[in-house]
Amino acid sequence: MKSDLIKAKLKASGIHLSISVVIFFGILYLILAEWYPGVFFEAEGGWDGIKLMAAVDLVLGPSLTFIIYNHTKAKKEIFLDLSLVAVVQISALMWGGLQVYSERPVALVMWDGVFYTVTEDYYKKQDISLKDIATFSDEKPLLIYAESDHSLEQLEELQRLNREKIPPYAQVHLYKSIKEYKDDVFENQVSSDPWSDHLQEDIAQTSDYLFLGKAKYYDLLVYLNSEAELVELKIRQ
């Protein structure tokens, strides 16, 4: 009897796992292609997102099914049990998905001569939508120039947001159109790097404007053309 129960539990959790795998591949596509495309996957911690979603989708749901499923119960009870598992898994997936989604890089902002990746959660803290930020750029990710005019009012706002753990490159009141200020942007291009042979080769070979960038885990190389449009992103070696 006990072996029959274990076999039934394994079969039910196996079916659940198969369904979860299909869902996981859909989530994997979103992470790789939409939320953390290209170098952002490695530079911004796309693996962290995948591990979180895998734990929720491939481990939590099937494990709960194995624990709770009992084929000797009435069909109504089995349905209620599996419905409970589904609610828990869907709720956890929604929570995990929102965490990964909100931490995706949505903008590259030049501040003090360096491009920084900015995640959407910084803008939410300022009650500003991505639609509002998109007025500064039509690129994907958004390319923006940030600069202070050193007025007392702006400096006070900058300090206030700093106290709220919002760095200057994520403070929208400093934002300007990168194309309108491209001459100021181009002044910050990298012209030489005596400490890095790899970067020196890139500088010598490219006809585009090359800038340094910073992501969550790695430094970046940002290439812009003469119209201040993004040409390429690389992880700095």
Tokens 């159109």 locate to: 177
The DSSP-derived string for 106-168 is EEEEEETTEEEEEEHHHHHHTT--HHHHGGG--SSSEEEEE-----HHHHHHHHHHHHTT--G
The structure's pTM equals: 0.84
Q: Which two tokens stand for residue 178?
A: 């990168």
Q: What pLDDT sits at residue 202?
A: 74
Selected residue with higher pLDDT from 161 and 60: 161
**Buried-exposed string 85-121: b where 16+ CB fall within 10 A, e elsewhere:** beeebeebbeebbeebbebbbbbbbbbeebbbbbbbe
Average pLDDT score over residue span 83-99: 88
Q: What pLDDT sits at residue 161?
A: 95
Could you state, in order of their start, the residue ranges of all structural domains in the chain?
Answer: 2-102, 105-235
User: Cα 40–44–48 angle (5° rounding)?
Assistant: 115
Q: pLDDT-based confidence at 194, cuts 50/70/90?
A: low
Whole-number percent of the chain with pLDDT over 90: 54
Q: What pLDDT sits at residue 193?
A: 67
- The predicted-structure confidence for 10-45, as pLDDT tens digits, reads as follows 898 999 999 999 988 998 899 888 999 999 999 998
